[in-house]
C-alpha cells in the first residue's frame, strides 16, 4: 500500500476529477484509472490546480480526507524545495542555509516514504485517547489514561507491554518527535529555553526536550521500529530505516509546509 499510495476515498477521487478534469466524458473510467494506476494517481494529486483549490477552501476537510490534503502539500513542498539549492535550518537567533535540497527531494521521491509522511501528518488531526489497568501487585490495579501524543506515557509503556505490541509504540513515539520538529519547531524551542538562551526550569511530569533530544529520540525509535520483526513482515522496515538515517531531511518538507502553507491554520488542523 505504501508503494501504491493510500487508497483514495470516492470523495477524494471525485474532488480530483472535478479539479483537474471537470469536462471528462467517462468519469467511471477515470475513477478506475485513478484507483489502479499509481503514476496517474500521483500526477493528478501533484497538479497545481489541486493545491490551489485546497489552499483557497477553508472547509476543505469536508470535501477530502486529511491524508489527501497532506499528500498534496508534501508534493507541492518537494517541487518548491527542488527549485532551490538549499534549505533553511533555524537555530536560536539565526537562520542557516544548508545545501541539501536535492537530498530532501531524493528522499521524498521515494513513494513509500512520501505516503508514510502524508499518513503520519493526517494521524495528528484527530488525537485518540486510551486507558488500561496496570497491575501493581496481587489485587491492586492502577488505571492509566493517556492520549496518543503523550510522549512520556508512550515511552514508559514500551517497558511494560509484550514485544509484539511494541512496534506501534515505537512508531508513534518517533512520529511525535518528527511531527513536533517538523510542524511545531518554534514550540519545541520555546518550551525548552527562553529567548535569551537560558533553559526553562524542568516542571515535574512535563516533557522538556531540546530540539536535539527530539531528533535523537526520533532516530532511536525509528531504528527500533525498523528492527522489529513485524515491520519486516509488513515490508515497512525500509521506510523506518530511511527516517532513522535521514531524520533531518525528512523534517525539512514538514518545516516548509508548516511555515509556508498552514502557519495560521495549525491550531485548527491539529486541535484534536
Q: What is the pLDDT of residues 92-113, one digit of tens each?
A: 667 788 889 999 999 999 999 9
What is the chain's mean pLDDT, rounded?
91
Q: In terms of domains, do 195 and 250 share one?
A: yes
For residue 147, is pLDDT > 90? no
Q: In terms of domains, do 109 and 125 share one?
A: yes
Answer yes or no: are the C-beta atoms of 127 and 148 closer than 8 Å.
yes
Domain end among 12, 38, 64: 64
Q: In terms of domains, do 137 and 59 share one?
A: no
Q: In terms of domains, do 164 and 265 share one?
A: yes
pLDDT (tens digit, 9 = 90+) per residue, 33-91?
Answer: 999 999 999 999 999 999 999 999 999 999 999 999 999 999 999 999 999 988 888 76
Q: Which domain holds residue 193?
A: 66-272
Q: In terms of domains, do 42 and 105 share one?
A: no
Q: CA gyration radius for the chain?
A: 20
| 110-113 contacts, C-beta under 8 A, 24 or more apart | 110/242, 111/2, 111/3, 111/4, 111/5, 111/38, 111/42, 112/2, 112/3, 112/236, 112/238, 112/239, 113/239, 113/242, 113/243, 113/250
pLDDT at 94: 72
Section 254-264 average pLDDT: 95
**Hey, which residues does 134 pair with through a beta bridge?**
142
Amino acid at each position: 500500500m505504501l508503494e501504491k499510495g493510500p487508497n483514495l476515498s470516492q470523495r477524494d477521487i471525485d474532488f480530483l476529477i472535478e479539479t483537474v478534469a471537470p469536462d471528462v466524458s467517462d468519469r467511471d473510467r477515470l475513477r478506475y484509472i485513478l484507483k489502479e494506476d499509481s503514476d496517474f494517481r500521483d500526477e493528478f494529486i501533484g497538479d497545481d490546480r489541486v493545491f490551489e483549490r485546497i489552499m483557497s477552501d477553508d472547509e476543505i476537510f469536508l470535501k477530502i480526507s486529511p491524508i489527501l490534503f497532506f499528500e498534496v502539500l508534501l508534493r507541492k513542498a518537494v517541487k518548491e524545495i527542488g527549485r532551490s539549492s538549499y534549505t533553511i535550518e533555524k537555530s536560536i537567533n539565526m537562520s542557516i542555509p544548508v545545501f541539501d535540497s536535492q537530498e530532501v527531494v531524493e528522499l521524498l521521491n521515494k513513494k513509500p516514504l512520501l505516503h508514510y509522511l502524508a499518513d503520519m501528518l493526517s494521524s495528528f488531526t484527530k488525537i485518540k485517547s486510551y486507558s488500561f489497568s496496570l497491575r501493581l501487585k496481587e489485587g491492586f490495579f492502577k488505571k492509566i489514561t493517556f492520549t496518543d501524543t503523550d510522549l512520556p506515557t508512550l515511552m514508559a509503556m514500551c517497558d511494560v507491554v509484550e514485544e509484539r505490541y511494541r512496534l506501534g509504540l515505537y512508531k508513534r513515539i518517533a512520529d511525535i518527535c518528527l511531527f513536533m520538529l517538523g510542524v511545531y519547531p518554534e514550540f519545541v524551542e520555546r518550551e525548552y529555553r527562553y529567548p535569551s538562551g537560558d533553559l526553562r526550569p524542568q516542571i515535574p511530569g512535563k516533557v522538556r526536550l531540546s530540539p536535539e533530544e527530539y531528533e535523537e529520540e526520533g532516530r532511536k525509535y525509528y531504528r527500533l521500529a525498523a528492527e522489529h520483526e513485524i515491520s519486516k513482515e509488513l515490508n515497512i522496515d525500509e521506510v523506518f530505516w530511511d527516517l532513522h538515517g535521514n531524520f533531518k531531511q525528512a523534517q525539512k518538507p514538514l518545516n516548509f509546509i508548516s511555515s509556508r502553507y498552514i502557519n495560521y491554520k495549525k491550531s485548527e488542523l491539529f486541535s484534536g
